[in-house]
Structure 1
Amino acid sequence: MSEARVYAVRNRISEALLSKDGPTVDSLVSDADARVALLADRIGAFVAGKVAVLAAYAEQPEEALFGGCQAIGEPAMNIAEVAEAAGMDAVGAVARGICVMLDGLISRGIWHTDALRLHLRALTLVHGQTGQAAGLTMVEELRSLRFSLGFTD
């Protein structure tokens, strides 16, 4: 059996930060935040498209939900990865909850059709809301539901 090889990757950012003429961490973070803010509208449109795809699954029969796990999981993960960057924290959190439920099916065999359907409907609801407070309350309730069913975030 061969031994594992460990490769050290050069950190080019640290070299820039350690030089006296390089940018500061604060300026790099500020620049990154500004770039993300410029993308907020495009991210919002992207998320809306993925929410529309997932909304169609909310009314599907159990066989379609079970058989469509991969088709549900991909757009849910896409939303979870970018929604918060556009200020859609609740939308991202509900999408992560969908991912947790699908992961529970794959890794531990936990399947609850009604709970998944509830998450899909909640995603549509929080996406349509303008205020974050109600959405974050829904996120906590969904987290409690998942916990009671044996899912771990």
Structure 2
Amino acid sequence: MSQARVYAVRNRISEALFSKDGPTVESLVSDADARVALLSASIEAFVAGEVAVLAAFAEQPEEALLSGCQAIGEPAMNIAEVAEAAGMDAVGGVARGICVMLDGLVSRGIWRTDALRLHLRALTLVHGQSSQPAGLKIVEELRSLRSSLGFTD
């Protein structure tokens, strides 16, 4: 039997950060924030397209929702991953809730069509809102709903 080997990977970023000529952590974070701000309009357009895909599922019959889990999960995850970078916290929160519900189906067999449909409708609602506090209140209420149904975030 061969012996296990442990490899130490060189951290090139730390070498740059800790050198006297390297950029500071603050400057790297500031540069990253500026790049994300430049992408904001693109992110918003991408999220709008994904919300439109999911909105079409809100009125589908139960069989279509169940068979379309993957078609629902992918755009929901896409939204959850990028929405907050464009300041769309509520939209990202509702999309994460959809992902939690679909994960509950796969991992624990929990299926609630009514709650999923409510999340899909809420996604469209918060996407169209300009009031961030109201949207975040909806996110909290949906989290409470999921919790009462046995879903774990």
Q: TM-score range by the shorter chain?
A: over 0.9
User: In the aligned structure 2, how far is the partner of 1:91 from the partner of 1:60?
Assistant: 21
Look up the SS of the partner of 1:10 in the other structure: coil
- Consecutive unaligned residues of structure 1, counting only runs of 5 or more, are none
Change (3 A) 1:125 1:23: same
Which TM-score applies when normalising by structure 2? 0.96
- 1:69-80 equivalent positions in 2, closer than 5 A: 69-80=69-80
Which residue is 1:65 aligned to?
65
Cα deviation digits, residues 30-80 of structure 1 (max 9, x gap): 000000000000000000000000000000000000000000000000000
Name the TM-score, length of structure 1 as normaliser: 0.96
Specify the alignment match of 1:131 in structure 2. 131
**Which residue of 2 is the match for residue 81 of structure 1?**
81
Q: 1:21 to 1:144 in 2, by over 3 A?
A: same
**Equivalent residue, structure 1, for 2:42:** 42
Q: Which whole-Å CA distance do the structure 2 matches of 1:123 and 1:59 have between them?
A: 13
Instruction: Describe the SS at the equivalent of 2:57.
Output: helix
Please provide the CA RMSD for this pair: 1.4
Q: Which runs of 5+ in 2 are unaligned?
A: none
Sequence identity (%): 87
Q: Label 1:146 to 1:14 Cα distance change in 2 as closer, same or farther (>3 A).
A: same
Instruction: State the aligned residue count.
Output: 153
